[in-house]
Amino acid sequence: MAILSILIFPGFLFLAFYGTVFEFIDRKVYARLQNRKGPPWYQPIADFIKLLGKETIVPNEANRTVFLLLPVVTVAAVTTAFLSVPIWSTQAAMPFSGDMIVVLVLLTICPLTFFIAGWNSSSLYSTIGSQRVLTQLFAYEVPLLMSLIGPAILTGSWSLSEIAAFYVDKPLFALFNLPGFVVAILAGQGKLERVPFDTPDAETEIVAGAFTEYSGRPYAFFRLAIDMELVVLPAIFGAVFIPIFSANLFVGFALFVVKTVVILLVLTAIRAITARLRIEQMVKFCWMFLVPLALLQILINLFAKGLI
């Protein structure tokens, strides 16, 4: 049973498929906001299959094993993280106490692999790209963690499933978490490396950033991992900040889809209406605006704890 949930639902296969659907929604809505037609629904899957068929080129100076292993590590990390995120009910597939921290650590592995991938490629563009990945990591990671610590303090639990269950019991307390929700969405946009925080792979400056030297199958799996991340983050935000669940499996799943798609649409809208920030502007924005807001969130929740 456990192996099924890891490999099929809600593990790898479901996450991969849902990720490609999300990439399609993202691209289609982005295109419509720009008055374009946008791609057909099968485009992300077609892209994936096409990349699988392409030649894999490994730079001479790169460590071959590391170069080829990194995409797998990323996909594995994201999939593992998703197993502890509540989906159709407040109970995740594999919850344990303290899983929130583990999920966030697993998600930090993605940018770390991006960094190693770029550094290992030893091309100028990818080296600069990986420097930016790390710099950006230091900017968004703290506010993202703090925005989730706020709700956790109120519930007195470090498990995503228990946090979700708490807010289902006391839905009005979720209103206290609104500043945290804003911080989480913006920091999440940074984690997903999307405009305005897409400096690490700014196309017009450093080609494809850390992935410049990647091609073929390894690149396909990196793309897949990014698509999966695009699902996991909205799923976490949906579970923590929007405590709407149902006991019925099908209704619960429909609610999950609605919640994640709404968050995705917000992320897409941000992408469509902003210009790319420079890396130092991004760091400044995170530390001057997001961190104080997240601190405020923690303060609010410390006081709100007295109301329980």
Residues that bind other proteins (CB under 8 A): 33-36, 124, 128, 195-196, 198-199, 202-207, 272-281
CB of 186 to other proteins, least distance (A): 12
Comparison of 128 and 144: residue with beta carbon closer to other proteins: 128
Comparison of 247 and 275: residue with beta carbon closer to other proteins: 275
Comparison of 35 and 60: residue with beta carbon closer to other proteins: 35
Is residue 189 within 8 Å of residue 183, measured between CB atoms? Answer: no
CB of 17 to other proteins, least distance (A): 27
**Cβ-proximal residues to 42 (8 Å cutoff; 6+ apart), any chain:** 24
The Cα 161–Cα 42 span in angstroms is: 33
Residue 136 buriedness (CB in 10 A; 0-12 / 13-18 / 19+): buried
Comparison of 19 and 200: residue with beta carbon closer to other proteins: 200
Comparison of 125 and 241: residue with beta carbon closer to other proteins: 125
CB of 203 to other proteins, least distance (A): 6
Helix H or strand E encompassing 147: helix 124-155
The Cα 253–Cα 248 span in angstroms is: 8
Query: Taking the CB of residue 54, how many other CB atoms lie within 10 A of it?
Result: 12
The full 3-state SS of 208-219, as one line of letters, equals CHHHCCCCHHHH
Q: Is the peptide bond preceding residue 196 cis, with omega within 30 degrees of 0?
A: yes
CB of 243 to other proteins, least distance (A): 32
For 281, phi and psi rounded to 5 degrees? -70, -35
Comparison of 144 and 202: residue with beta carbon closer to other proteins: 202
CB of 289 to other proteins, least distance (A): 12
The Cα 51–Cα 223 span in angstroms is: 10
Residue 222 in tokens: 């990196």
Comparison of 195 and 293: residue with beta carbon closer to other proteins: 195
